[in-house]
Amino acid sequence: LSGKRKDGSEVPVEVGLHPVYVYERFSVICSIVDISERRRIAEREARQKKELRDFAYRIAHDIRNPLANLKSLLELSSDSAAAISNEEARSMMTSITADLIQFTEEIIGATLAAPGESIIKPLSVDALQERISQRFQYPLRESGGSIHWTTNHDSVPSTPPGVMEEVIGNLISNALRYSHPDREPEIQVRTWNENSRFHLSVEDNGPGIPEESRQQVFSMFGRLQDKQGTGLGLYLVKENLNRLGGSIDFSSSSAGTIFQITLPLN
């Protein structure tokens, strides 16, 4: 139910009717209560629950891939016929565990921040490129794939630590997971500035996204093919970018898919 204020604006209300017996006759007392504050509190609690749920999903999703890589490397290191040496396997495992430690430190830092306080820093594309290269060293070697970066930006946005690595990591992980069966994965990452915004695109040479699947690309648990994974990756990408005031869109054909990200510079 809603009522109207003197200025004509609507306000949510709760109406109560209470029968009373006064002066030997039954009457009804009607109370109308403005529940705007109650509704605001309920909406805030619903948002907080959603943020907590998304936070848990994000942690589980980001930890799963490195652990899967560690498992594969451990199996390879015990296989005498493997194409990778024990020294190379140890080096990759050291890099993966270092990334996991850094990730947990970022999570701790985020949870210890004061309510309403956000830790943001200017995005370092060079550091992002280095961490992505380390993170996907083994998957690229296993698939025969490659990542090429073309940076042509003068200004960068400020973001919470680790968020853009998570965004780009999810896009690259999908490009490798859904690669074309007849060609080695080639991924192009480009950055540029346009209209006071930071643009970043991730292009792959995969089979493309089927027309009938494009509506569910950013939906929670939506998987485009029968592949291993939770289907959370692109949902989390969009959620992260929305929080930063950014956006993501894509175009796709049989030659591959391009995801384009935009972020405000201020």
pLDDT tens string 48-100: 888 777 777 767 767 877 788 788 878 777 776 566 777 777 777 887 787 77
Nearest to 69 by CA among 167, 162, 143: 143
Per-residue pLDDT band for 230 (boundaries 50, 70, 90) equals very low
Structural domains of the chain in order of their starting residue, each with its CATH number: 2-34 (no CATH), 40-264 (3.30.565.10)
Instruction: Look at residue 89 in the predicted model and tell me its pLDDT.
Output: 78
pLDDT at 220 over 80: no
Query: What pLDDT, on the 0 to 100 scale, is given for residue 197?
Result: 96
Average pLDDT over residues 135-164: 90
Nearest CA among 155, 191, 163 for reference residue 266:
155
Residue 229 has pLDDT above 50, yes or no: no
- Residues found in the chain: 266
According to DSSP, the β-strands at 158-159 and 197-203 are unpaired
DSSP H or E stretch at residue 203: strand 197-203
pTM: 0.65
Cβ count within 10 A of residue 156: 19
Report pLDDT for 110: 56
pLDDT in tens, 244-260: 999 999 999 999 999 99
CA 123 – CA 198 distance, rounded (Å): 11
Using the Cα atoms of residue 131, residue 133, residue 138 and residue 143 in order, give the sign of their dihedral: positive
Rounded to a whole number of angstroms, the distance between the first and last alpha carbons of the chain is 41
H/E stretch holding 101 reads: helix 86-112
Is residue 152 within 8 Å of residue 191, measured between CB atoms?
A: yes
